[in-house]
Each structure stands twice: as structure tokens, then as C-alpha cells.
Structure 1
Amino acid sequence: MTLARLDADGSRGVPELRYLARGADGGHTVLACLPPPGGDPTRWAAEAQQAARLTQPGFWPVGELGGTPAFPWYSSPYRPALPLPAVLAAYGGPLPEPLIRTLGGTLAEALASAHVLGIVHGGVCPAGVLLTACGPLLSCFGATRANPLAESTAAQATRLETGCLAPELAAGGPVDRAGDVYALGAVLAYAATGYTVPEWQEIPVGLRDIVMACRSRDPQGRPEPARVLAELLPGAAYGGLAGGTEPVSLPGRVVEALSRQSAEVLASALPSQGR
């Protein structure tokens, strides 16, 4: 039973349909995801199966897989989470630099841990970042092994539209780690300005160098995720951010939005009186 859309109506750059829903047993609340309109359900299902094997810290888990080849879906246990565009909407604009540094460093650590295993996310974008009380998680996978499948046409179109597709990928190159770093730069730019492709002077001075390095047109000129982490959070211990279980410091308006979502979902999921 569908309770609500995770993404606001008219949201751009969302590469799948995401719903807060009650599980089939009626006792569990889940995040249910389906292929985007016009997407290839077979390819989407294959990506979901691959992403289900990605259990690294910092990634939103792909739980139960189901449906048919024509109508696949997957669900994950619910926890209060806001897509990054909803976070900016709740806050009222671009985020404060300390939060951007924490968010970017955590995402960089998650990507580094995946890249070590030869896994490329392939779908990093603002809508794919889900902020929880304990920090951000990467979703909207597209996650693939570094050597097999090319990125799906629907995913490429979505990321090209949102400024998250690296130039070499737009030209037909393979999905690779450097493309993930380019997209991470777009996410940092979005968090700092509200745009994935802002003017240089719009980016806060303290973030300009690392954002522009990530968004270099030359893949060889982009930093590794571990360096992005070091630049954003000097002195941070690698392995202590992604998948954290302790609450992080969030602005009050963002905490309020997470709490409101949780309360609304809980109220919707409660059984009716007399049943």
C-alpha cells in the first residue's frame, strides 16, 4: 500500500519512482522503488540485482526484489530520509559549508570503499543522495562493475539533464571511477549553490578548488575520492564516516522535515481503530 511519494511532484533528475509504502504483511514500512517512466525495466532490474550485492557502508541498501520482467520493483526497510533537493527546500536554500563538507566527505568515503572493490556507482546525482539523521547515503545505484555493462540510456539522459554526466561519458565512453568523481563534484556544487553547474564565483571560496577539480573535463585531472575526503575534512579518519550510526549535526529545519516525514509515515502506517 502506497503511503506517499518520496520525491516532490515535478522533481527533476530522479532516475526511478520512489514511494514510502506499507509492506505486504501490513506490519512494515518500506521505501519501494520502480523503474522510471520510459526506462528499460529489464536493465533497471539487472542494475537493482547488482546493487543488492553492494553492501558497503554509505549506500542505501537494496532489499527485497520482486515483480515481473515487465514490472520489477525493489523495497528497503524505511528510515526517515530526504533526497538532497528536499533538504535544500527544507533549509530554504544552499546548505552551510560545514554540512557540505561532512556530506561530501561521507559520500567520497563511500565511493572510495566501492572503487577499491572495482565497483562504480554510475548514478551519483543530487536526487540519489538521501540524507538521514546519521548522514547521507547513496542510492539510485546504476551501480555496475567497472568492466561490464554500459550505463543505461535512461540513466545517461537523466544525468546529462542534471549536469552530473561527465563529458567523456556523454561522448560514449565507459562508466568509470572518474565519472563518479565528476558527479560528486556536481552534488557538492548543488549543495553549495542550488545548481549542479554554477558559475565559478557562485561556489563558496572554501569549496571552489575541490569542486572545480572534481568537475575537470580531463578525467585524469580529477582527484581520487580519498583525496576529496582529505580536502573536505582534513584530519578525518578514513572509515569513520560512511554508514555511521551516530546522529550528525543538521540544521533545525532539516531535522524538523525529517521528523515530520517520520510522524506522517507512522500515522499512515498505524492500523485503523477497530481493525
Structure 2
Amino acid sequence: MPTGSVALAIGISLISLVFFDLMGLIIKRLSTDYSAAELSAYRNVFGLIPSAIALWSSQAWHQKGRRLRVRQWGLVAVRGLIVALAQLMFYLSLGRIAFASATTISYSSGVFMTAFAVLLLGERVGRLRWIAVIVGFVGVVMVMGPGRDTFSTNSLLPLAAAALYALTGVTARLFDQDVPSALVNLYSSGYAVIGSVAIAGLFGGFSPVESLYDLGWIVAMGIAGGIAVLLLMVSYRMTEQSNLAPFSYLGIPMAFVFGWVFFGEAPWQDLFPGAILIAVGGVLVIWRESRSNR
């Protein structure tokens, strides 16, 4: 892989982080007037468009005759429901705690992915990876801050979201190897729409969109999230994930800056040094994985 391609992939992945944070900022802004369940449903509906674009742009899908059938439909449906639940938890947290705190805690998904890989995939995890997991989890606990005056049980929401997102990542590896990732993503997004709409119904249904201004923000939210997923998929196809994952933790200071600029939040005492431990734990896991692959 040429060095320039790796650098371009890293740049694209960083842009995707910006769009993920923009989506989160819009969700936090809209959460005062619309429920997390509603916003999740809107996000998934608009997210179908970039998912379809990602599938159409997939060379693997075209080379295999534009296959639309998937053998493991049950797994697709379960993943879609898990995504809907993860979004509900994360979107709730964005409306209840500081933007940077919710985003930082969500980075603990790497901790859960290691545990789920052992339980569901039967992977053998060495001492270094478990040390990395423990370091990351200690960082999460420090950010959540049990015992501090600022601690709230709402901090458990992004933690639950991280666990659910990690579960979708691990279960993606259970699909047949010949099924394109873009096809799995499209179908999972479709079931996420069904799941999120059903959840919104259970939480009181949909309230009327108050203005064209709000509608514009809702559309922007879906488009920002969709672009973020698309860019992330493009970057992952350009180079190995181990080349990109360490840079994903730049999202932590980025979220801090966005929360400070747009909402006047500066939870410095809550985030550090816990956020650093989360990043260190994640990078240790990635470094160990890259050594094992070599």
C-alpha cells in the first residue's frame, strides 16, 4: 500500500470524525424538542441513502453479480435492532450530559469488543490485550466519575451504547465471507429503521416537526451521519484498520472543543486523565493486533 494512500485514508477517516461530531451536535441541539427515539428513527431513515450509495460503489458487490441475497437474515435483523437500541442510548446521553463526556465514554467500545470476541468468536486473548482492556476500562470509570458531585447515572447511557455498538462490530464477523460489507450495512440499516420506528412508537410516537428550520436540522443530522459512515467505509477500504484506529481517538479532544464552542461546556475535570487512559488502552490493543497480524 503506497504511503500516500495511507495518508489519504487517515485524512478521510478524520473528516468522518468531524461529521460524526456534527451529527452529535445537531442531536444535542434537537434533543430539547424531540425525543431520542424520534431522532434515531429520522437518522436511520436518511441513513438509508448513503448506505445504498455505499453498496452501489462497492466493487466487490458488482464483481459478484450485484447479489442481494443474504443467508443469515436473522443475524441481519438482530444487528439492526441492536443498532437502534445503541442509538437510543447514545442520543439520550447527548441530551442529558456534556457532549464531550458522552462522546468520550462511547470510545470504550474497544473494551467491549475484546470481551465479546472471546465470548462469541472464541478468540484467545493474551495478557497484553487484557491489560489494555483494563487500562481502558479504568479510564472509562474515571470519566464517569462515581463518587464525584457531578456523577450521574446518565453516564451509564453512553457506556451501554458503546457495548451495543461493539456487539454489532463483533457480530459483523459472523456473516459469510462472500457477503459484501456494504450489503450487510444496507440491510442492517433497513432493520434499524424498523427497530427505531417501533421504539419511537413505544416511547409516545412522533411529535410534529415544529418548523422548516427544525426539518432542515433533522435532514442535516441524517446527512451528516450518512456521510460519516460513507467516509469511514471508504477509508477502511483504502488501508488496514490498524493504520486508522489510533487516529480515531483524536475525536476525544475534537468533541471537547465542539462542546466548548457550541454549548459552553468544558468538563475538563471530568474528562482527564480518564480520556487519556481510554486512548492508551485502545492504542495498546491496536498495536498488539498489528504485531499479531505481521
TM-score using structure 2 length: 0.26
The structure that has the greater radius of gyration is 2
1 or 2, which has the higher strand percentage? 1
Greater length-normalized contact order (CA 8 Å, ≥ 6 residues apart): 2
So what's the TM-score if we normalise by structure 1? 0.27
